[in-house]
Amino acid sequence: MSTKAFAAQSATSPLAPASITRREPLPTDVQIDILYCGVCHSDLHQARDEWHNYAPTTFPCVPGHEIVGRVTKVGTRVTKFKVGDFAAVGCMVDSCQSCPNCAKRLEQYCHQFPTFTYNSPDKHSGSHTLGGYSEQIVVDEAFTLKVSDKANLAATAPLLCAGITTYSPMRHWKVGPGKKVGIVGLGGLGHMGVKFAKALGAQVVLFTTSPGKVADGKRLGAHEVVVSSDPNAMTPHLHSFDFILDCVSAEHDLNSYLALLKLDGTLCLVGAPEKPLPVAAFSLLLPRKSLAGSGIGGIAETQEMLDFCDQHGIVSDIELIPIQKINEAYSRLLKGDVKYRFVIDMASLKSGG
C-alpha cells in the first residue's frame, strides 16, 4: 500500500515528503496508523550517514523508531491486538527468534542481528526497512507493544528508545533502594535515566557540565546535581557509587567517573561517542570496577518498561512539532536546544505532508 512519509534521499539532502510502500498485513501482522513519532539523535546520524563505518545508510532513509499509534488492521492469526487498540513500535521489527539470545527474549542481541525499524534488510520487501516518519507501519505482533488507553501518547513515544535504553541497564544492574546511582548528562537519555532511577528507589545524583541545568535536574527527580566541570564538586563523591549510567555521546573523560565508583561498582555506557574514549587500566583495577555498555531492551522488557511507566506516571518531557519542521528540529538537536525530546505530531503529515 502507498504511504506518505518524510525521507532523506541522500546524506546531504534535507528530509522531504516522499511516497513509500508498506506490505499488506500478513497473518501475524498488525497495521498501525502512526499518531506520534519521537525524534532520536540516531535518526539524525542515520539520515546523514554519519555512522558510515558502522552502519552505513541505505537511501532513501525514512527514520523513526519511537512510534505510537492506533491499530487499523490485524492479520488472521493475531491474538494480542484488535482494531482500535493503541500500540507502539520501538527500535526493532524482527529478529531470527531462534538463537540463544532470542530464546532468552533478548532480541536486541540477536546473533544474526535484529531487524531494526529502519535501515535494516527487510526480508519481506527485499529492500530495507523504513521507519516511523510515515503515515502507517506494518509489524509482526511479536514486535508490537501494548500502550495504555489512558497514556499521554505523544509523551509516551520517546519511551520506545530513550526510555528502554535507560531502563534496561538499571534493571540488569539491579538499581533500587539502598543504591547510589549517578546519571551523566541531562538530555533525551539522561532525563529518562533520572526519572527511572528515582522511581526505582535509588539515591540519584545527576552530573552535568551545564550550571543552567541544576534546577531542571532536581525538578526531574535528582536528589543532588553536580556540575562536573568543577573538580571540587566531584571530590566528595569519590568511591561512593554503586552504578553510574553515562548518557553522553560527546567526547568526555571516563576516568573521572570511574574514580567515583565503589568496589564492584559499574559505569555503563548508553551514549555513543563518535571516537573511542581512553580508559586508564588503574581506573578499573583499584578497586575492582567494571566498565560496561548496554543497548536497548528486548520486547518483553520494553513492555515491562511501558507498564512500569503507566504505573508510576512516567513519560518523557517533549516538544511537539509538525513534521514540516523536522529539518529545523535536527539543527536544534545538534545545539542541544530541546527539553528533552522532539516528538512529531503525525497528523501534520496527513494534512500537509
| Total-model pTM | 0.95
How buried is residue 187: exposed, middle or buried, by Cβ count under 10 Å (0-12/13-18/19+)? buried
Q: How confident is the model at residue 193 (pLDDT cuts 50, 70, 90)?
A: very high
Biggest alpha carbon–alpha carbon distance for the chain: 63
CB 215 within 8 A of CB 209: no
Same domain, 269 and 176: yes
CB 207 within 8 A of CB 182: yes
Count, residues in the chain: 353
Question: Quick one: which of 258, 251, 247 has its CA closest to 206?
Answer: 247
The single residue listed with the C-alpha cell 526493532 is: 92
Same domain, 140 and 40: yes
User: Could you give the angle at the alpha carbon of 168 between the alpha carbons of 162 and 169, nearest 5°?
Assistant: 105
Domain count, the chain: 2
Same domain, 157 and 174: no
Bond before 167 cis per omega within 30 degrees = no
The CATH number linked to 107 is 3.90.180.10
Residue 252: give the domain boundaries. Answer: 163-293
Same domain, 271 and 183: yes
pLDDT value at 353 more than 80:
no
Same domain, 314 and 259: no
Same domain, 108 and 152: yes
Identify the pLDDT of residue 352. 66
The CATH number linked to 174 is 3.40.50.720
Same domain, 102 and 49: yes
Cα-based distances in Å from 342 to 95, 119, 265, 329? 28, 21, 33, 7
pLDDT value at 110 more than 80:
yes
Same domain, 145 and 9: yes
The pLDDT tens digits for 281-312 are 999 999 999 999 999 999 999 999 999 999 99
Same domain, 156 and 65: yes
Q: For residues 159 and 86, what is the distance between their CA atoms, to the nearest angstrom?
A: 15
Please give the share of the chain, as a percent, with pLDDT higher than 90: 93
